[in-house]
Structure 1
Amino acid sequence: MATISELKAVLKDTLEKRGTLGQIKARIRGEVFNALDDQSEPRPPLSRENLLINELIREYLEFNKYKYAASVLTAESGQPEVPLDRDFLVKELNVVEDPNSRSVPLLYGIVAQLLLSDREEKARQTFPGSSSLQLSRWNFGKAANQRRPMAAVSELARLEDPSIFQGIPR
């Protein structure tokens, strides 16, 4: 007959393998936070920048099924319960999307584009003045119609180390 310790170990191992142990721990942390959160204390108003940044983070968390982390972010930051519309975010951030990049959070596209820009900048430094390289740098300062689209999914395949984006469907 199995001891209590052996049963605990088997149960813990099973929950870890199913991925539910992490979810249970995250839910407990979220519930503890909600219980300790003082609702009577008013939150400071969110700046426009913080609102947009929090929304990018929430979209990322929800895409990756980190729903308890997203709920804690929303509760703690004072972010509106209803997510901002993606088209609103695209316009506010002056981002150009292509059909492939709409399937992933905006944050993935922004990071992928910045990584690609860094790689292109290094190529420019290695091959200065080369007209054969059609390299362009993504720039927040340019108008949306002057920037190239955030081809996040297709550009990721060209990155030297796309393994950092393993969660993105291709």
Structure 2
Amino acid sequence: MESRGVLGQLKARIRAEVFSALDEQREPRPPLPRENLLINEIIRDYLEFNKYRHTASVLTAESGQPKDPLDRQFLANELKVSEDASSRSVPLLYGLVSHFLNSSDAGGKVFLRGPAASNKAPGADT
């Protein structure tokens, strides 16, 4: 089973079911900050493209991400990303990484900012 990859799939499926069962017993989660929603969706897109569906289901259950994926065009607009036909055939994460790996502006450095003050990530210091 291990050589065919079945064992790993079974373990991932068991983890997903455990998280799903535990999630049913919890109180409702607070709303996801915008940044978390977008990050989780980019990760889910990557996981599903690579057929890591069980991992994606655990992410969805554990994070409180909506069950239905966000629209690709909506994500691109939110991230201020322009795409061509070839970039739409792969997850947004690939395009973002490719952009930064191949960028020649400002020595390849980009100034990053943390979440907006009104949208702190869960667990962030107050």
From 59, 72, 75, the counterpart of 1:89: 75
Alignment of 1:75-154 (within 5 A): 75-117=61-103, 120=104
Q: Which runs of 4+ in 1 moved over 6 A?
A: 137-140
Q: Deviations over 1:106-126 (max 9, x none)?
A: 001001111112xx35xx86x
Contiguous gaps of at least 5 residues in structure 2: 112-126
Q: Deviations over 1:76-120 (max 9, x none)?
A: 111111100101111111101111111100001001111112xx3
Partner of 1:73: 59
Select the structure with the greater relative contact order (CA < 8 A; seq sep ≥ 6): 2
Alignment of 1:22-37 (within 5 A): 22-37=8-23
What TM-score do you get using the length of structure 1 for normalisation?
0.59
Q: Deviations over 1:35-94 (max 9, x none)?
A: 233544110211111111110000001001111111111111111111001011111111
Partner of 1:54: 40
After TM superposition, give the deviation of residue 25 of structure 1 in Å. Answer: 0.9
What TM-score do you get using the length of structure 2 for normalisation?
0.79
Q: Which amino acid aligns with 1:112?
A: S
Paired residues of 1:90 and 1:96 also in contact (CA < 8 A):
yes
Give 1 or 2 for the bigger CA radius of gyration: 1
Q: Which amino acid aligns with 2:36?
A: N
Q: Would you say how many aligned residue pairs link Structure 1 and Structure 2?
A: 112
Contiguous gaps of at least 5 residues in structure 1: 1-14, 126-136, 141-170
- Calculate percent identity across the aligned residue pairs: 68
| Cα RMSD after superposing both structures | 2.4
